[in-house]
Amino acid sequence: MGIPGPTTSQRTKATALDTAIIYVSAGLALLFAVTVPRLFDNRAISAPMIVLVAGALLGLVFDNVEAVTPGWHPAVAEYLSEVCVIVALMGVGLAIDRPLGWRSWKSTRRLLLIAMPLGIAAVAVLGWWAAALTPAAAVLLGAALAPTDPVLASDVQVEGPTSGEGSHREDDEVRFALTSEAGLNDALAFPFVYLALFLYTKGPIEDWIVSWVLWELLGKIVVGAVVGAVAGHLVGRAVFHFPVEHVRLADRGEPIVALAATFAVYGIAELVGGYGFLAVFVCAVAMRRIERAHEYHAEMHSLIEQLEHVLTLAVLLLLGAGLTTGLLAELSWGSVLVGAALVLVIRPVVGWLSLLGCDELDGRERRVTAFFGVRGIGSVYYLAYAAAEFDLAQEQELWAAVAFTVVLSVLIHGVSATRVMRMLDNARVQGST
C-alpha cells in the first residue's frame, strides 16, 4: 500500500500559509525599502545585510516558512527573482548616460569576454575538484555565480540619468564598468547555464556542441539584441516624438511606460527564442538614445528603481529565511572554499587581468573594478530556473554553495563598498589638484 498523499484540506491550509508568508515578506520588503537605506546611508552596514538578518530571524519564528524559500520551492524563487532581474536590467540601462560605442565600452567588453568566461571555468574546475561536484553540476555552479549585481552595493553603480548638467559619477569609469557589466552578464551567462543542462540531459558532448554554439551561444544573443534595439527605438520615438502632442508620454510625465516596456520586450524576446534579459537591457539603452538629456528618463528610472529595491529585498528576505531553515544543510568545506575563492581570489584576479589593456583605468581603479564583482539575485534566478526545469543531481549542494557565496559577497562588498569608493573619490580629487 502506498503512502497516502495530503488531503484537500491539508493542501488548502498549506497554500494559505504559503500565501500569508509571501504577503508578510512583501510587506517587510516594502518597509525595509523605504527605511533601511536612509538609516544606514553612507555606513558600513547595507540594506541587503539587514534584510538577510531579518530573513534569518523570520525563518526561526515561522515553522513553515521554508515552503517559499529558495531550494524548497524553486518555482517561487524563479519567478520572483526573474521579475527582479528584468526590472533591474531596465533600471541599469536607463541609468547609463554613456552612448553605446566599441571604444567607450572597452572596459565592459573586456569584463564580459575575458573575465566572465575565465571566472566560470575557474569556479567549475574548483567545484569539481574541491566540492566533489559532477562536471555538469560544476559548470552549472560556475554559470549561476557568473552574473554580477552592483545594486546590492549601490555605491559602486552609476547614479542614474542626468539631464546634461553632469554628475560626479557620470564619467566614472569604475562605476560605469561595474554597472554596464551587470546589465549584460545577466543575459550572457545564460548560454553557460544551458551548457550545464545539456551536460545533464543530452549525452555525449560531440552530439550537441555545435548546435549549442550556433544557437544558445550566438543565435539567442543576436535575437535578443535585435528585439531590444528595435523595441527600444520604437518606444523611444513614440514616447518623445509621438505625432499627437497631447498624447506624448514624455511631456505628460507617465513613467509607467518603462515598466510596460520591460515586461513587453522581455515577453516578445522569449516568444521568438531570444534572451529576454539582454533584450530588456538593450531596449533601455536604445530608449536613452532618443532625447538623451530629457528629464523623463530620470522619472522612468526613479519608478523602476523603487520597484527594483522592493523586489531585491523580498528575494533577499526569503534567502535569509532559507539560511535558518535548511538551505545550508548540504554546505561542505569544499563549497565554502569555492565561494570564498570566487569572492576573494578568482573574480579579483580575472577581473584585473581582463582590464590590463584598458587605459581608461589606472592601477587603483583597475583593482577596485576587479574586486567588486558582487553576486546576488541573478545567481538565485539561474539556479532556481535550472532546478524548476530539471531534476538536478546534487541540487541541495548547489543551493548551499550559491546561498553561501551570495551572503558572503553581500557582507564583504556591502561593508567595503562605501569606504573603498570614498577613498577612490578622494584620491581622484587630490590627484586633480
pLDDT in tens, the chain (433 residues): 343 433 434 334 445 555 666 666 667 666 765 666 566 555 556 778 888 888 888 788 776 666 566 767 777 788 889 999 999 999 999 999 888 888 889 999 999 999 999 999 999 999 999 999 999 999 999 999 999 986 776 778 887 786 554 444 456 899 999 999 999 998 899 999 999 999 999 989 999 999 999 999 999 999 999 999 999 999 999 898 878 776 677 777 778 999 999 999 999 999 999 999 999 999 999 999 988 888 888 899 999 988 888 888 888 888 888 888 888 989 999 999 999 999 999 999 999 999 998 888 989 999 999 999 999 899 999 999 999 888 888 999 999 999 999 999 999 998 888 888 888 888 877 766 5
**Does some domain include residue 19?**
no
- CATH of residue 98: 1.20.1530.20
Q: Is residue 16 part of a domain?
A: no
Give the pLDDT confidence score for residue 225 in this predicted structure.
Answer: 97
DSSP secondary structure letters along 130-148: HS---HHHHHHHHHHT---
CA distance 198 to 192: 10
- Give the C-alpha distances (Å, rounded to integers) separating 231 from 139, 248, 272: 33, 17, 13
Three cell numbers written together for 325: 531553515
The pLDDT value recorded for residue 213 is 96
**If DSSP codes are grouped into helix, strand and coil, which group holds residue 159?**
coil
The total number of structural domains that make up the chain? 1
Q: Is residue 348 part of a domain?
A: yes
Distance CA 306, CA 192 (A): 31
Question: DSSP class of residue 248?
Answer: -
Are the C-beta atoms of residues 308 and 48 closer than 8 Å to each other?
A: no
Confirm whether 8 is domain-assigned.
Answer: no
pLDDT of res. 353: 96
Residue 395's CB: how many other CB atoms inside 10 A? 18
Nearest to 84 by CA among 377, 411, 338, 295: 377
Residue 274 in domain = yes
**What Cα–Cα distance (Å) separates residue 138 from each residue in 132, 397, 415?**
9, 11, 29
Q: How far apart are the first and last CA of the chain?
A: 83
Is residue 310 in a domain?
yes
The answer to whether residues 401 and 141 touch, using CB atoms and an 8 Å cutoff, is yes
How far lies 362's CA from each of 181, 255, 355, 366, 429, in Å?
Answer: 18, 38, 10, 6, 14
Q: Which residue blocks in 253-354 are alpha helix, DSSP H? A: 256-271, 276-289, 296-323, 333-341, 347-354
Domain that holds residue 397: 25-156+171-432
Domain membership flag for residue 12: no
Q: What grid cell was written down for 411?
A: 557582507
Rounded-to-integer distance, Cα 187 and Cα 352, Å? 22
Q: Please name which of 83, 85, 202, 221 lies closest in space to residue 139, comparing C-alpha atoms.
A: 202
| Angstrom distance (rounded) from CA 201 to CA 392 | 10
Three cell numbers written together for 316? 533577499
Distance CA 378, CA 316 (A): 12
Whether residue 134 is contained in a domain is answered as yes
CA angle (386, 389, 394) in 5-degree steps: 50
Distance CA 29, CA 311 (A): 7
What pLDDT, on a 0 to 100 scale, did the predictor assign at position 13?
43
Residue 398, Cβ density class (10 Å: 0-12 exposed, 13-18 middle, ≥19 buried): buried
Angstrom distances, CA of residue 193 to CA of 143, 404, 424? 5, 19, 35
